[in-house]
Amino acid sequence: QYAPKKEDKFSFGLWTVGNRGRDPFGDFVRPDLNPVYSVKKLSELGAWGINLHDNDLVPFGATASERDRIVNEFKQALQDYGMVVPMATTNLFFHPIFKDGAFTAVDPSVRAFAYQKTMAAIDLGVELGATTYVFWGGREGVDAEASKDPVVAVKRMREAINFFCQYVIDKGYNLRLALEPKPNEPRSDTYLPTIGHMLAFIYSLDHPEMVGLNPEVAHEHMAGLNFVHGVAQALEAGKLFHIDLNDQKGPRYDQDLRFGSENIKSLFFLVKLLEEKGYSGARHFDAHAYRTEDEQGVWDFALGCMRTYNIFKEKARRFAADAEIQQLLKEINRGDQALEALLAGGYSPEAAQKLKETSFDVEALARRGYGYERLDQLTLEILLGTR
């Protein structure tokens, strides 16, 4: 029942299952996974898509003929195993040239190189069929605050995104851009650190209609924020173009844990939101297996992400079908319906007059109990499997 199927639209980054467990304190613990092999394994597990940074597939500095050979082999694998590439992105953080960032680096040569690399990576993504292009800030930020003017940094980010929107338009590509905020790591502070910052930035662009968000669970939790609320705001604005699903223990370094392995209640509400509010994009996992795992552990991890999503989806269905919960929600929303309609009608001189003349039973309203303890307990019992 919970087994992942293509129509669930689950996708993984090549870099996620390909994560070899290197961290700042220890070396690789797992062998390299061939991208073609990852396509095959993920397809067998029930995934629908695979996403990539340019260099997850084509090594940095590859010759044109090397690139074409690798890309053709990969395309063949996509066809053979019935997989798609819904999203692509650029690695603008690994090579030492990007140690001061890419689009906000102080050195114009670095910035120009980042533009060149990104245009090539967009071409690659489109060649593979991607319709979403992600921009994660990577090293766009500072360690030494004195090193950059933060206002100039925002302007440089804007110039870059405007440039790539126009590039996509000129090329006639069917591609939308999705910006991914993260508050810190690898730099001490990253520009445009949260969903809210990014959302405001988008409306300052030349083509805001082409640009949306790729929010990540771990990143908002690192900033101590409610991810569900951030995603809801993006969704309501029509800006949830993509999503990075994973998990995180509190506001620490970016842990990229298996989806739903820690924040069960919050991620239940996330899945409920995505499923009930008509999100139709990829359910993308940007996470990786624990460093303790061998290859089998990687596939256990990948399957776990997808199963947990589907289990939350089933729990959301139960929540919606639970008579006691629905009755309680009705009671919770039982307030004066004439006033409800008045408020929903927006401003008019008549409405303003009516509100000025309305008398309220302030004492009674203040005395009201809301029943949220019972509601939350019922939610918990659904999650714990007793309902």
Residues labelled as active-site residues: 53, 56
- Can residue 254 be called a binding residue for ligand GCO (CB under 6 A)? yes
Residue 89 touches which of ligand GCO, Mn ion, none (Cβ within 5-8 Å per kind): ligand GCO
From the annotation, which residues make up the binding site for Mg(2+)?
Answer: 180, 216, 219, 244, 286
CB of 137 to ligand GCO, least distance (A): 9
Q: Are 283 and 255 in contact (CB under 8 A)?
A: no
Q: Which is nearer to ligand GCO, 4 or 125 (CB)?
A: 125
- CA separation (Å) from 299 to 23, 38, 65, 293? 20, 10, 32, 10
Q: Closest Cα partner for 259 from 314, 221, 308?
A: 308
Sites for ligand GCO among residues 210-249 (CB under 6 A): 216, 244
Residue 134 touches which of Mn ion, ligand GCO, none (Cβ within 5-8 Å per kind): ligand GCO
Q: How far apart are CA 46 and CA 51, in angstroms?
A: 15
Stretch that binds Mn ion, among 4-12, 283-291, 323-331, 370-378 (CB under 5 A): 283-291
Pick from 100, 180, 220, 247: which binds ligand GCO (CB under 6 A)?
A: 180
CB of 84 to ligand GCO, least distance (A): 17
Q: Which 8-state DSSP code applies to residue 199?
A: H
Pick from 117, 156, 182, 242: which binds ligand GCO (CB under 6 A)?
A: 182
DSSP 132-167: EEEEE-TT-EESSGGGS-HHHHHHHHHHHHHHHHHH
Pick from 254, 270, 302, 319: which binds Mn ion (CB under 5 A)?
A: 254
Helices (H), the chain: 14-17, 35-45, 54-57, 64-81, 108-127, 150-171, 195-202, 217-222, 227-236, 264-276, 295-321, 323-332, 337-344, 349-357, 362-367, 372-383
CB of 136 to Mn ion, least distance (A): 6
Interacting residues toward ligand GCO by CB under 6 A:
53, 89, 134, 136, 180, 182, 216, 244, 254, 286
Interacting residues toward Mn ion by CB under 5 A:
216, 244, 254, 256, 286
